[in-house]
């Protein structure tokens, strides 16, 4: 009986740990997608970059869409992409904490060196 109780506690701790890590895991991967889109944006139009972000977010299963991203591009083809979104830490449908997360990535066009 004691062994069963220990397993239940261990499973509970594992569920809490995974639930707490999920928003930060998503933040990391959204950041990677935004970084790739920023590099793409240095050689392409803002509309194309927004479409690429929309496709990447749909493919990744995220709630964010292309219109949620703020994209800036200057005359030297330096692209900055910013997105702010809300994520929550929840266990079995009970919200423990709301998080306001921000991703901001910048990329500059690299000219051929040779």
Q: What is the pLDDT of residue 41?
A: 92
DSSP per position, 43-88 = TS-HHHHHHHHHHHHHHHT-S--GGG-EEEE-TT-EEEEEEEEEEE
Dihedral, CA of residue 64, residue 101, residue 69 and residue 80, to nearest 10: -140
Tell me the per-residue pLDDT of 7-66, one tens digit each, with 9 for 90 and over.
999 998 998 888 888 899 999 999 999 999 999 999 999 999 999 999 999 998 888 887
**Sign of the four-CA dihedral 105, 48, 50, 59:** negative
Q: What is the pLDDT of residue 2?
A: 85
Tell me the per-residue pLDDT of 63-88, one tens digit each, with 9 for 90 and over.
888 788 999 999 888 999 999 999 98
């Amino acid at each position: 009986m004691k062994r069963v109780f220990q397993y239940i506690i261990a499973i509970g701790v594992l569920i809490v740990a995974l639930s707490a890590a999920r928003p930060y895991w998503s933040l990391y991967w959204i950041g990677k997608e935004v970084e790739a889109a920023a590099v793409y944006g240095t050689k392409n139009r803002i509309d194309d970059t927004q479409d690429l972000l929309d496709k990447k977010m749909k493919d990744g299963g995220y709630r964010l869409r292309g219109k949620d991203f703020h994209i800036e591009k200057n005359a030297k083809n330096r692209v900055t992409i910013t997105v702010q979104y809300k994520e929550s830490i929840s266990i079995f449908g009970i919200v423990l904490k709301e998080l306001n997360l921000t991703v901001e990535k910048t990329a500059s066009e690299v000219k051929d060196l040779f």
